[in-house]
């Protein structure tokens, strides 16, 4: 199964997660703060990390930011707070899921399996050999003010390269390819996160906010369809 790094300053939480994870067949390593988590990630290879936000020495956000400099390990973030700001901050750092305390250990294990399944899918995706003269798929909107290179996964806003998370790119490019079409929340979650996504659809709303922020003055190209979902419309 998986080797999981559990990072939380509360020993009781670590032991609770470890108990259920070991029962599921996983191997667990524990850390009590962010500094220890960084050290362990440099010294060992883990399949996934579960990390709390509020910790002494170094908080979860800072630890994830440092770990992301040298590792793409899947990350599930824990927090006693459910504020949208914390979720946005976490997803901007490239975490894979966010769980609010108190949580069900069984649900957490389901989320672990879902995150790892998505990570395995990304790793095993066939890599096509590039043609001798590759031709990038580029689309432009607003007289070139918004430009997306779908092949290179690059977006320019008024000539400046936008800094997006991998999931923002996935979401934006899917909406571009389906521009002017009403996309239900269920459709977006299924196509962008996968049919086996385990979590609530507030994650979609959080990523839409992140994407709008990245698009700057073109944020209103993403139209909210109340009770339905969203639509990309650059002709409004």
pLDDT of residue 16: 96
How much is the average pLDDT of 163-186? 92
Res 198 pLDDT > 80: no
- Residue, of 90 and 127, whose pLDDT is higher: 90
Residues 236 and 232: their CA atoms lie apart, in Å, by: 10
Sign of CA dihedral 185, 186, 187, 190: positive
Domain span(s) for CATH 3.40.50.2300 in the chain = 3-124
**What fold is seen in the domain 138-232?**
Arc Repressor Mutant, subunit A (1.10.10)
Q: How confident is the model at residue 196 (pLDDT cuts 50, 70, 90)?
A: low
Q: How confident is the model at residue 44 (pLDDT cuts 50, 70, 90)?
A: very high
CATH architecture of 3-124: 3-Layer(aba) Sandwich (3.40)
Domain span(s) for CATH 1.10.10.10 in the chain = 138-232
DSSP result, 9-65: S-HHHHHHHHHHHHHTT-EEEEESSHHHHHHHHHHS--SEEEEESS-SSS-HHHHHH
pLDDT of residue 165: 85
Res 82 pLDDT > 90: no
pLDDT in tens, 99-158: 998 899 999 999 999 899 888 766 555 555 445 555 678 999 999 999 999 888 999 999
pLDDT of residue 94: 86
Check: CB of residue 186 under 8 Å from CB of residue 114: no
Beta-carbon contacts of residue 187 (< 8 Å; ≥ 6 apart): 229
Res 83 pLDDT > 80: no
């Amino acid at each position: 199964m998986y080797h999981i790094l559990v990072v939380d300053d509360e020993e009781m939480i670590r032991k609770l997660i470890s108990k259920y994870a070991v029962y599921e067949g996983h191997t667990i390593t524990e850390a009590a703060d962010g500094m220890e988590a960084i050290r362990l990630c440099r010294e060992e290879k883990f399949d996934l990390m579960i990390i709390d936000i509020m910790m002494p020495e170094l908080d979860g956000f800072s630890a994830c930011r440092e770990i992301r400099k040298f590792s793409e390990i899947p990350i599930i973030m824990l927090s006693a707070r459910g504020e949208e700001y914390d979720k946005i901050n976490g997803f901007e750092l490239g975490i894979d899921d966010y769980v609010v305390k108190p949580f069900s250990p069984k649900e957490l294990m389901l989320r672990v399996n879902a995150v790892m399944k998505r990570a395995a899918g990304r790793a095993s995706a066939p890599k096509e050999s590039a043609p001798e003269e590759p031709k990038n798929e580029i689309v432009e909107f607003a007289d070139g003010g918004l430009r997306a290179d779908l092949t290179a996964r690059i977006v320019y806003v008024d000539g400046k390269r936008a800094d997006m998370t991998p999931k923002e790119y996935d979401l934006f490019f899917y909406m571009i390819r389906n521009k002017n079409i009403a996309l239900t929340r269920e459709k977006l979650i299924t196509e962008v996160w996968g049919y086996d996504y385990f979590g609530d659809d507030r994650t979609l709303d959080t990523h839409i906010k992140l994407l709008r922020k990245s698009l700057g003055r073109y944020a209103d190209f993403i139209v909210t369809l109340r009770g339905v979902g969203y639509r990309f419309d650059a002709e409004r």
